[in-house]
Structure 1
């Protein structure tokens, strides 16, 4: 019972969201990575291109609508996401082991269909007892790592997909591994390419290049978090300003009603006009606050999602993939650091009602210096609202 719980906890650590293609909702098959860091099955992307623009040179991500330029053979030439492929392989293996508790897993190294008792990680095969003994007798296989099914089921030994150890081959020289990073071209190359095509370029080893890339990513992640904090602060400030607006709105409405009650007979019409006008102004201002808050919340959500994608990719990807996707990683993070909150002028939280001597009074939408107000008193009739035109125009642009 304890082993079941352990294996289940291992499987739960790998989110289903990271294993399923958002287009077909099945587990990834040959996942390809777009410039926005979203991944989809190769076949799904090929079908998506047919539905968007079969002869076009760009592909629009169905999740974020960002464009990815296609080169060479189109979708097929998009970078592979080996990290996702490895995760699918590892979870599938754990499920096989769980299923094997109720039904036998057969040996894959012989034709006798014997019950498997272990797995060779180097051969990537389930083995029966006899085949495991054969491994021990053969010189070339003595160094192979073999674990019992009980060890794999319990989580004592974690199964790692061989895809994580796969070394990509050079496109120009298929017999050579990619083992050099060209800083000038920002790509991983083989030794032959480094001599023939990149001799005068700045070259470095993969470990050094990966460390440099990770440092850049870390710096941009810090800046992105700072931008996210600024957006959240802006949301809080907008919320406080909105409350302040609600308070002065209620107080102004009360003043209007109070004055109107004093002179009901002659001021009813003016009260309705003033109330209607203050209602309209309040609605416009609240829309400005709500739009600014919605904008900032949307940017915060985008930032959180993108940081999760970057973190997952850098945690799961191999050094080759990190360098291959370096430009995408840095570009996406750079976009996050430039996010700015949408601001609403503080003056929009102010409004007041000034009683008049010959009329009900007037709305005051901006704070006025007391001295200036005394020296140059303004008309108190409702007709003197032309000064609000520029203010309303400013609100509509928010």
Structure 2
């Protein structure tokens, strides 16, 4: 796995921050839209409700019954990254101190850190530490190597990857029938063949990672398509509002020649323009909001899927695979809404024989007969 500094550079500092409290994750739980939040934040956010939209993308997630928030999957991938970052920060603070004394001999300067004991030790104590039977297999690294992310955390089994049914058993298999991690006891008790098909975690991870990687180009192209459609919609809205402004100016100029006689007509047509602008702007805003949400959703899902696929352990990956796979499949078929018609024009009647300034027409072009006939088109 890449060093901590490299990982943070790739995924960004906010990857480890909850989108509700904006603090580092505490027991992160993942929703069906693959966004994660602190367990306590979700408890407060959901309250007594069983279904609520995601605070980021607004996709609804129904809480599992029984279990509620606690029944949601824990995002072990984020926990692993957080532990690495916190270790690097701890060592960085230690290295910044002017005087660092060994925690064992309390005399010599600290040069190493034991990741199992969480002790800061000198070179001499490090040699003794490795000769003692109970600590011989501990992971010990120099402060420099740990600070640069070159030392891997000791292999520890996280709660999420320990069998929930058989206490103390490690999940070493993946049931393809149920899409869950299982232990060796599960394979002969409640996930038996031939009713259930299971394979070891390494094989399953390799298999499903290939499937994800095949989807990445398609999702990437769809994101590009949504970005292009969003750009078109934004430009169309800008053009529409610009031409609405131009039309308002022309209407006001046309009203100057007979202000007293046509004041009522001027007010009428300006009201129509305002109503049209409000209606059409609302439609544009809703369309752009929908496409922005879809774009953000696809980008977030692709980022999370790619990070878990490329950087997560087999257990990290398989734990999140069903949720991400379901979301990728949904997003792959989710198309952008059709563009809104931005056509618009204003036509003015003969100024010599009518006090009407004209009628506002949308989407068509008609010329009126008379003197000083002028049309405005969008």
- Pairwise same-fold verdict (TM > 0.5): yes
Query: Larger Rg: 1 or 2?
Result: 1
Match of 2:193 in 1: 199
The 8 Å contact of residues 30 and 85 in structure 1, kept in 2 or not, is answered as: yes
Structure 2 distance, partners of 1:253, 1:19, is 50
Match 1:286 to one of 269, 281, 284: 281
Which residue of the partner structure matches residue 396 of structure 1? none
State the aligned residue count. Answer: 357
Is the aligned partner of 1:34 residue 2:28?
A: no
Name which of 184, 189, 193 aligns with 2:177.
184
What TM-score, normalized by structure 1, do the two folds share? 0.70
Give the distance between the partners of 1:340 and 1:199, measured in 2 at CA.
Answer: 40
Kindly report which structure 2 residues correspond to 1:1-398, keeping only aligned pairs within 5 A, or say none.
13=9, 15-22=12-19, 26-45=23-42, 48=44, 52-53=47-48, 63=56, 66-101=60-95, 102=97, 103-104=99-100, 106-107=102-103, 112-113=105-106, 115=108, 116-120=110-114, 126-134=120-128, 137=131, 146-153=140-147, 155=148, 158-162=150-154, 168-196=161-189, 197-200=191-194, 201-246=196-241, 249=244, 269-346=264-341, 348-356=342-350, 358-359=353-354, 360=356, 362-363=358-359, 364-367=361-364
Residue deviations 1:94-118 (CA, integer Å, cap 9, x gap) = 23322323142544xx5x5455432
SS at match of 1:216: helix
Question: 1:255-292 CA deviation, whole Å, 9 max, x = no partner?
Answer: 65676667778656544434443444344333433432
Q: Structure 1, unaligned stretches of length 5 or more?
A: 1-6, 381-398
SS of the residue 2:220 aligns to: helix
| Structure number having the greater helix percentage | 1
**RMSD between aligned residues:** 4.2
Could you tell me how far apart the structure 1 residues matched to 2:279 and 2:331 are? 30
Q: Quote the residue 1:4 is aligned against.
A: none
What's the secondary structure of 2:29's corresponding residue?
strand
Structure 2: gaps (5+ residues): 371-378
| Pair 131,267 (structure 1): closer, same or farther in 2 beyond 3 Å | closer
Cα displacement string for residues 13-66 of structure 1 (whole angstroms, at most 9, x for unaligned residues): 3744233445555543433333333334445555x38x712xx76677555563
Aligned with 2:185: secondary structure? helix
TM-score by length of 2: 0.73
SS at match of 2:222: helix
